[in-house]
Chain A
Amino acid sequence: MEDSRRQFLKIAGVAALGMGTVPVVKAVAASGGHGPQPHTRKGDDALSATQWGLVIDTTKMNHELVEHIVEACHKTHNVPAITADKVGEKTAIAHEIKWIWETHYHHAFTDKHSNYMSEDVEERPFLVLCNHCEEPPCTQACPTEATFKRPDGIVIMDFHRCIGCRFCMAACPYGSRSFNFRDPRPFIEETNLAFPTRSKGVVEKCNFCAERLAVGQAPACVEASEGAIVFGDLEDPNSEIREVLREHYTIRRKVTLGTGPAVYYII
């Protein structure tokens, strides 16, 4: 009896050791001997960062410039203009799609109240967009990981994966996300052939021009802003954006919520 148990344990031990080598054998088999394998890489001109951010100089903003910037962004990304004259006023509000838009101070900075505010600041147009938060609540709400934070800080949508549940819209405290209640294509006046449109049933928002950064270009809003918007790596102390932040007093939207917005406003 003892002999056979001893025998059994020996065999079991050797078998376990043998099974342990399976991953090693597989790795060796996969790694060599088949010539060069197809692989992927980043483009040579791609811009990189640890946390991309924007500084918007509100002192340089006026309605014309803001409109110009919004148009530049929305044209680049085939954002549909679902307007009241096409679908009626109520539907236009409910179905509106926006990546970057103009809003009033009180809507942008809901937690910064003053009874006696500077009129100049109060009347300025404020550009708002996705804040590409350090701790984005939207990505935690997404059940399919369709929205996630990239290593360079951009909070991006993978439209392929979006199931249209709109949890992210409920989670975002900035209203940065829009839902495609209808096919957006008939509402795109000039289609940018280099960028896809969206389909009915997905959420969309600003992507920090990931497709432009990948080929070494600045985001479309920055390019159209005539110097009123600066972008750069917030984690790099020597970057232009940090220089601007050192020199100016800036505020961010709803910081008390702890989302860590990466869009700063010079007041």
Chain B
Amino acid sequence: MNDKGKIIAGIIIFFAMVTSPFWYNMFMEKTPPPKVVLTAKAQAAEKCVRDTKYMKANHMQLLDEWRDTVVRKAERIYVNAEGKEFTMSLTKTCLDCHSNYTEFCERCHQYASIEPHCWDCHINNPKENN
């Protein structure tokens, strides 16, 4: 029982280290979330395939469903709740409006430290390449 002081000090240091990210976030300045830029065409359309909140949170799930539906079910038309129809194509539909890859897709992905594989095959932006 002679090491009581050491043990308690150790426990305190351990907890300080484990909780350090919380302290860091509490006292340090936060990196502001990035602002994505909408192209004139995207602004004019006002609404994406689904509402903005859904798209922000779930666009990856939507794209996953799209790719499975197109490749595996051979269905290529998406009808949203309002009855508006879209061709399920990343290049032809999504990037037709969001033709500013660096200011739209990349900004958020970089902030969230995500590297999607989409662009390994899909041509990231027909308009930038033209």
Contact = CB atoms under 8 A, between A and B. Distances in A.
A156 B71 contact: yes
18 contacts: A38-B80, A38-B81, A40-B76, A41-B75, A41-B77, A148-B72, A150-B74, A151-B74, A159-B121, A160-B67, A191-B123, A191-B129, A193-B91, A193-B129, A196-B123, A197-B121, A199-B121, A214-B74
Given A37-B81, A160-B71, A193 B126 contact: yes
Contacts of B121: 159, 196-199
Interface in A144-202: 148, 150-152, 156, 158-160, 191, 193-194, 196-199
A99 B69 CA distance: 24
Contact of A36 (B76, B81, B88): B81
Contacts of A193: 91, 123, 126, 129-130
Interface of A: 35-43, 46, 148, 150-152, 156, 158-160, 191, 193-194, 196-199, 210, 214
Contact of A43 (B67, B77, B123): B77
B122 interface: yes
Contacts of B117: 199
B59 interface: no
Contacts of B75: 40-42
Contacts of A199: 117, 120-121
Contacts of B123: 191, 193, 196-197
Q: Which of B74, B88, B129 lies at the interface centre, i.e. has the most chain A CB atoms within 10 A of its CB?
A: B74
Interface of B: 50, 67, 69, 71-83, 87-88, 91-92, 117, 120-123, 126, 129-130
Contacts of A198: 121
B118 to A, nearest CB: 9
Given A41-B79, A191-B129, A193-B91, 20 more contacts: A35-B81, A36-B81, A38-B79, A38-B81, A39-B79, A40-B75, A42-B75, A42-B76, A42-B77, A43-B87, A148-B72, A150-B74, A151-B74, A158-B71, A160-B67, A160-B71, A193-B129, A197-B123, A199-B117, A214-B74
Given A40-B88, A196-B122, A199-B121, A158 B72 contact: yes
Contacts of B92: 194
Given A37-B81, A193-B129, A42 B91 contact: no
Chief secondary structure at chain A's binding surface: loop
Given A159-B121, A194-B92, A196-B122, A42 B74 contact: yes
Contacts of A46: 74, 76
**Of residues A39, A148, A150, A152, which shows the largest number of chain B Cβ atoms within 10 Å of its Cβ?**
A39
A48 to B, nearest CB: 9
B57 to A, nearest CB: 16
Contacts of B77: 40-43
Contacts of A210: 74
Given A191-B123, A193-B123, A196-B122, A40 B79 contact: yes
Given A193-B91, A193-B123, A36 B83 contact: yes
B74 A40 contact: no
